[in-house]
A = this chain, B = another copy of it.
Amino acid sequence: MTADELSFWGWGYSEKFPDEAERRELASRMEGMLGFPERPMLSPPALSDVSIPESSLSVPAHLDDVVSTATEDRIRHTYGKGYRDIVRGFHGDFDSAPDAVAEPDCEDDIEDVLAWASEERIAVVPYGGGTSVVGGIECDPDGDGDGFAGVVSLDVRELDAVLEVDDHSRSARIQAGTLGPEINEQLAEYDLQLRHYPQSYEFSTLGGWIATRAGGHFATVYTHIDEFVENVRMVTPSGPMETRRLPASGAGPDPNRLVCGSEGTLGVITEAWMQVQPRPSYRARATVHFDEFEAAVDATRAIVQARLYPANCRLLDRNEAMLNEVAMDGSHVLVLGFESVDHPVDPDLERALDLSRDHGGSVSGDPSFEGPHRDSEADAGGDDRDDEEGDWRSAFFEAPYTFNALVSLGVIVDTFETAVTWDQFPRLHEEITTQVMDTMNEECGTGFLSCRFTHVYPDGPAPYYTLLAPADVGNELEQWREIKATASDVIEEYGGTITHHHAVGRVHRDWYEEETPGEFREALRAAKESMDPEGIMNPGALLPAEQHQS
């Protein structure tokens, strides 16, 4: 992957942007299936047409090799990949481009950049894969400078190596800028994997996952990247810090847990020892259809409370099933998958299917069982499957590309997610459905909302919503803001968290403030001040930017 193969304004590879015929087909689907009014067909911008403000920074000579002020570098580090980002990118608006981009290939360079930035009071925005959907890597979006001399995007992707593997303890020391596929490629020679697959997998980095507490492959138990962190190394403006590599500890509040979720506000994560795993040898999978959503929810709850530990336990409501073409008959679909490196998981799946049937589910087709001593699919590893789960999984990684196309068709498209206890879920879900639909109707005349569970816990699910609405092009960010605010308000009012795994960034900050106790945020601010006395690290993400005191 080279930078110029990537879209400068949207998700992923440029060449994957669909041609007009494909987009026309997508528009017809929106019009036919969802009843949207006729959609326009807008052309994506050309890089050469984009102009950005001049950089406010002059790079000192000793950082010449590390820091660039080249226009294209700055454009490419302006935004994450949320709807708001793609819309602005698509319209060629890169006004909030950083003033410079640092691409250090070692910690010394990072220390030098932070020293310069502390000295000159330059905001530093750590940048991994650039896939934030919450404004996590975009500093000073309002252009008012927040009292900073400028903004440097600090891109860590040159730190892209697996440095050590301890096969005995099943762990590996991995640099923070390593992309998902690069991690697994480098671990492959040891027959190991990280087994963490967020939807951004292809383009996001280990450091980004840790900084944002990414949600991964496993629907239960090992849901967040946090669970795999043995230690972490971070360069703060006060110096580098490294936690002790341990399988577990009870010595005071867990230092790793302060770094997980710090969203670049404390320092730049440079590497971590992570738990890794062999590729699973055994799998068992099935899909279950339900007529009623409530029954499907109850079945899911029964499975997770039985502590069967499915790797995959994704409940798609009928809209989600339809949108992803997993079921077109109006049924809700529960996709179940078990895996093990060591032993058959058939009994676990069988039991989960029993529990599903107890709640009125009907199993679709035959369950699939794989293992090293079985004839079928012995070596396929299950990555190229043509069953419903396989369809859904490939749709999972391709979905962000659809965002690009939908923006070009004047469609508002976004996802939001939360976690809530089971007792509060029905009310929250009902209010989200009603109020978000109402807002879309008001703002856009119509809209579409679907729900799936990405992760589940014995005490509650992590529901994930996708919304689509026809935009009034040119006005779409105002419309989106209303819809997003409604969703976020409802989540806070009815007991959810503003984010289960998308992070807080700048977009969720107001609701984060409602959700967390002031005493905790104050303590976090104090902790930040001790690591980052000048307040240069990702100001405005997670916590409000501090006004400069001098």
The chain A residues found within 8 Å of chain B, CB to CB, are 166, 168-171, 212-215, 221, 223-224, 226, 230, 236, 238-239, 241-255, 257-263, 266, 275, 277, 301, 305-309, 340-343, 347, 351, 419-423, 455, 457-462, 495-504, 508, 512, 515-520, 522-531, 542
Copies per complex? 2
Contacts of A458 in B (CB 8 A): 169-170, 247, 275, 277
Contacts of A516 in B (CB 8 A): 243-244, 251-252, 255
- Whether A253 and B244, one on each chain, are in contact in the complex, defined by CB atoms closer than 8 angstroms, is no
Question: Which residue, A248, A504, A508, has most C-beta atoms of chain B within 10 A?
Answer: A248
Report the nearest B residue to A529, measured CB to CB.
Answer: B526
Contacts of A168 in B (CB 8 A): 301, 422-423
Given the known A-B contacts A342-B351, A523-B531, are A254 and B257 also in contact in the complex, defined by CB atoms under 8 Å?
A: yes
Give chain B nearest CB distance to A99 CB in angstroms.
27
Report the nearest B residue to A339, measured CB to CB.
Answer: B307
Q: In whole angstroms, how far apart are the Cα atoms of A523 and B526 in the complex?
A: 7
Q: In whole angstroms, how far apart are the Cα atoms of A459 and B192 in the complex?
A: 14
- Whether B519 and A526, one on each chain, are in contact in the complex, defined by CB atoms closer than 8 angstroms, is no
Contacts of A419 in B (CB 8 A): 246-249
- Whether B530 and A421, one on each chain, are in contact in the complex, defined by CB atoms closer than 8 angstroms, is no
Given the known A-B contacts A168-B422, A419-B246, are A252 and B307 also in contact in the complex, defined by CB atoms under 8 Å?
A: no
- Whether B531 and A340, one on each chain, are in contact in the complex, defined by CB atoms closer than 8 angstroms, is no
Task: Choose from B420, B499, B503, B525 the contact partner of A247 (Cβ within 8 Å).
Answer: B420
* Main SS at interface, chain A: loop
- Whether A306 and B251, one on each chain, are in contact in the complex, defined by CB atoms closer than 8 angstroms, is no
Given the known A-B contacts A351-B343, A460-B169, A497-B246, are A238 and B519 also in contact in the complex, defined by CB atoms under 8 Å?
A: yes
Contacts of A341 in B (CB 8 A): 305-307
Question: Which residue, A253, A277, A422, A504, has most C-beta atoms of chain B within 10 A?
Answer: A253
- Whether A500 and B421, one on each chain, are in contact in the complex, defined by CB atoms closer than 8 angstroms, is no
- Whether A523 and B258, one on each chain, are in contact in the complex, defined by CB atoms closer than 8 angstroms, is yes
Give chain B nearest CB distance to A313 CB in angstroms.
14
Q: In whole angstroms, how far apart are the Cα atoms of A8 and B524 in the complex?
A: 40
Question: Which residue, A260, A423, A502, A520, has most C-beta atoms of chain B within 10 A?
Answer: A520
Q: In whole angstroms, how far apart are the Cα atoms of A462 and B461 in the complex?
A: 31
Given the known A-B contacts A257-B254, A257-B257, are A462 and B421 also in contact in the complex, defined by CB atoms under 8 Å?
A: no
- Whether A275 and B459, one on each chain, are in contact in the complex, defined by CB atoms closer than 8 angstroms, is yes
Give chain B nearest CB distance to A350 CB in angstroms.
9
- Whether B499 and A250, one on each chain, are in contact in the complex, defined by CB atoms closer than 8 angstroms, is yes
Given the known A-B contacts A351-B343, A520-B258, are A421 and B171 also in contact in the complex, defined by CB atoms under 8 Å?
A: yes
- Whether A169 and B421, one on each chain, are in contact in the complex, defined by CB atoms closer than 8 angstroms, is yes
Q: In whole angstroms, how far apart are the Cα atoms of A522 and B258 in the complex?
A: 13
- Whether A250 and B523, one on each chain, are in contact in the complex, defined by CB atoms closer than 8 angstroms, is no
- Whether A542 and B252, one on each chain, are in contact in the complex, defined by CB atoms closer than 8 angstroms, is yes
Contacts of A212 in B (CB 8 A): 250
Given the known A-B contacts A248-B224, A524-B253, A526-B529, are A422 and B342 also in contact in the complex, defined by CB atoms under 8 Å?
A: no
Contacts of A526 in B (CB 8 A): 523, 526-527, 529-530
Give chain B nearest CB distance to A82 CB in angstroms.
15
Contacts of A275 in B (CB 8 A): 458-459
Contacts of A309 in B (CB 8 A): 309
- Whether A247 and B170, one on each chain, are in contact in the complex, defined by CB atoms closer than 8 angstroms, is no
- Whether A459 and B230, one on each chain, are in contact in the complex, defined by CB atoms closer than 8 angstroms, is yes
Q: In whole angstroms, how far apart are the Cα atoms of A469 and B358 in the complex?
A: 59
